Every structure is written in structure tokens, then in C-alpha cells.
């Protein structure tokens, strides 16, 4: 899942607000949160997940645990152009 914000600051705010709500929700199916800088990694529903922001884009990556690191590294190491409005 990818979302585009109008500004980098808005993307950062959206990421932080979304993750705070997920982590504070006692009914959330997600657990084992690890936060490193602006990268949120967690588990739930049989998958591993990562949420992070790059420029104007907010990413939510979900995969099986076996391929998670490779998929996450791909998205972290590539640059993605901002989409035209």
C-alpha cells in the first residue's frame, strides 16, 4: 500500500499518527513493534509488516516472514519518483 501526501511534513505526520493509533489500540491484531528512526516493523495476521515514509510517499509493506527482509530492503534501497498531480 502506498499513499502520497502533499508535503514531506504531512507524510511524516500521517505515518506517525497512523502508527500511534495502531500501537495504542488494545484490539489491534498487530504486535512486536520495533521502531528504528522512522521505520516501524511489526507482526500480525500471519505476516510481517513495515510502515515508513520516503519523501511524499508513505509505504505499508506486508509479506510472509520468510521474504520480509528482501522485500523491505528493496523498497528502502530504491528511490520512487513523486507521481504527477
15: number of Cβ within 10 Å: 22
pLDDT digits (tens, 9 = 90+) for 21-44: 999 999 999 999 999 988 999 999
Residue 79's pLDDT is 84
pLDDT tens-digit readout, 42-70? 999 999 999 999 999 999 999 999 999 99
Q: Give every CB contact of residue 71 below 8 A, 6+ residues apart in sequence.
A: 61, 63
Amino acid at each position: 500500500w502506498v499513499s502520497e501526501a502533499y508535503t514531506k511534513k504531512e507524510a511524516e505526520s500521517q505515518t506517525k499518527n497512523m502508527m500511534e493509533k495502531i500501537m495504542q489500540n488494545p484490539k489491534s491484531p498487530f504486535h512486536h513493534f520495533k521502531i528504528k528512526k522512522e521505520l516501524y516493523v511489526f507482526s500480525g495476521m500471519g505476516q510481517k509488516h513495515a510502515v515508513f515514509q520516503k519523501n511524499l510517499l508513505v509505504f505499508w509493506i506486508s509479506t510472509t516472514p520468510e521474504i520480509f527482509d528482501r522485500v523491505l530492503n528493496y523498497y528502502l534501497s530504491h528511490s520512487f519518483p513523486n507521481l504527477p498531480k
